[in-house]
Structures are given as structure tokens and as C-alpha cells.
A and B are shown apart, each in its own frame.
Chain A
């Protein structure tokens, strides 16, 4: 994998459903993996930064895992609420350039 890729591109779920998204990133020269939440008409808001293989982070109903050996991260939302509706971006930082490379995002819509 040369770029950061996210799937699915979009997701529609019912309130109360749990959901997860995938972020794939280059495993060579990896330094850190970032997740952001981006609401319409706002700036992206940082959720997590993870650096170690096997890292798990949690913030309320949202959690994330990291596998640096195979180059993927999962973001989980438990019991989705309408206010979770947003685009979720992941980004990988390369250790040799320090540059943050973003995926195209997963747009989540939670229906009441």
C-alpha cells in the first residue's frame, strides 16, 4: 500500500447500531496514525494519535485499534447517535518525512 485508504466511503446506520471503519496505510517508515472527526462547516477535530503496534485508544463510545505490521487501523463507534454523523478521516505520519497523509474519509450518517 502506497497511500492511505479508507473504507467504506460512506455508511448509513440507524441510531443505536454499532459500526466500524477501516484505514489502511503504508507500514514501511510508519511513525503515527491519526483519526479525525470532521463535521460539516467545521474544521477536523483530532480523536486519536497512535504510534505503537497493538495500541488501543478509547474516547467515550469511540475506540480505535492499530496494527502497524500489516498497516491497518479500525475505528469503532458503539451505539451510534445522530450527533456522530460526520466524516471520519485517518492520516498516517511517515517517519522519514514527518508528513501527514490523509485518506479520503468515511462519511457516516446516523438516522434517528
Chain B
């Protein structure tokens, strides 16, 4: 596709359940980011993938959060044992050096 896509667009889950969020970056983009925006907050960095380098996981809030990027393309963000404070919009973005980073439409996660 022409842009970054994310699925699902909305996810409602119960506290304690695991969720998987998917990101399809722009073809050829070497970098992929996950961010989240909690209600009333700014962009919170979660994780950064760059080519074949080890990912920068410094923004992951707890060990319940993990992400992988398969084949340098699609990425999955997994949240285990979800908590209510995990409710947020999760944004994926992709780029290559010097190119404007493109954001996906986001996944709105609601943990009941």
C-alpha cells in the first residue's frame, strides 16, 4: 500500500487478556517505530527498529510489552496481561534516513 497501515483500528479487551497489534510499514522503509498516546498526553516512544540492528526497547513501560519485526517489514506489538493503564492509541511509524516519517492511523486500545 501507499502508506503505513495498522490493525485492528479499535480493540476492546478485558483486563488480564493478551493483545496483539499489527503494523505494515511503507515498503522499503528501514526504520519502524511504535508510540502511544494516552488520554491527554503527548507521544510516548515505545520501541524502534532499524534495519537488522538490535531494536531500541528503551521506551517499553514494562516486561508485559514486547515487539518484533519479521523480515524487516511487518511488526507486531504484544501486550500481555493488559491493565487499564494500557488503554491508549498505539501509533506505528516508518521511515528511512532523511525521509519524512509516515504514521499509521493508529489502534485505539481500550482495556475494561
Contacts and interface: CB of A to CB of B under 8 A. Distances in A.
Nearest to B48: A99
Contacts of B99: 49
B93 to A, nearest CB: 8
Interface stretch (B17-25, B70-78, B79-87, B100-108): B100-108
Contact of B103 (A44, A48, A98): A44
Contact of A102 (B31, B43, B56, B105): B43
Contacts, number: 52
A70 B104 CA distance: 32
B42 A98 contact: no
Interface in A48-107: 48-49, 51, 87, 89, 91, 93, 97-102, 104-105
B109 interface: no
Given A89-B43, A100-B33, A100-B95, A34 B101 contact: yes
Contacts of A46: 100-102
User: Range of interface residues on chain A?
Assistant: 20 to 34
A100 to B, nearest CB: 6
B74 to A, nearest CB: 18
Interface residues of B, number: 22
A22 to B, nearest CB: 17
A97 B101 contact: no
Contact of B101 (A31, A100, A104): A100
A49 B98 contact: yes
A31 B98 CA distance: 8
B35 to A, nearest CB: 8
Please name the 10 residue pairs, one residue from A and one from B, whose CB atoms are nearest each other, closest first: A46-B100, A43-B103, A49-B100, A104-B42, A44-B103, A98-B50, A102-B43, A99-B48, A105-B42, A98-B97
11 contacts: A31-B98, A43-B103, A46-B101, A89-B43, A91-B101, A93-B97, A98-B30, A98-B31, A100-B31, A102-B42, A105-B42
